[in-house]
Amino acid sequence: MNRFATLIIAIAMLAPASLGFSHCQIPCGIYGDETRFSMLEEHITTIEKSMNQINELSAAGEKNYNQLIRWVANKDKHADELTEIVTYYFMAQRVKPAGADDAEYITKITLLHRILFHAMKAKQTTDLEHIEHMRKWLGDFRTAYLGEKEHAHLQEHHAEGSAGGS
């Protein structure tokens, strides 16, 4: 069996058989929107780091297949977790269905679908363009979802918090 076939088999074995759901889909009021946005940003950053590591390890003269497999599995896991938050938290619970002529609803759903599309593409490739798209669509969704003023206020707050950094 060649190394490529071994790599594919190992990836398939590491992939989870079923994904757990991060939210119970009852109106518990425990989970916060801003926390979900932070989690999505973290997943995008982790996917990006995984892609960079995969590209670096793939370019190496002597391949470290164990590390390659781990980074591929990590990339896919975080893409799945991002997809879960977008689907089960925002699409299923937070963005309420509206009429076909509701521009705000259509904008939000379209932005979420774009994020899902690029998360799927990130699983298929190591093209960092998908990271850029996810960040852009997430920023646009955050503004559409929270509103211009709230989004600007949160960005200021995050900038102030990181300015003092450790």
**Contacts by 48-56, CB closer than 8 A, 24 or more apart:** 48/128, 48/131, 50/74, 50/75, 50/78, 51/75, 51/122, 51/126, 51/127, 51/128, 51/131, 52/128, 54/126, 55/126
Output the tens digit of pLDDT for each of the chain's 166 residues. 566 656 666 666 555 444 444 455 666 666 689 999 999 999 999 999 999 999 999 999 999 999 999 999 999 999 999 999 999 999 999 998 887 789 999 999 999 999 999 999 999 999 999 999 999 999 999 999 998 656 554 555 455 554 544 3
- CATH topology for 33-149? Four Helix Bundle (Hemerythrin (Met), subunit A) (1.20.120)
Domain ranges in the chain? 33-149
The pTM of this model reads 0.75
- pLDDT at residue 100, rounded to an integer: 72
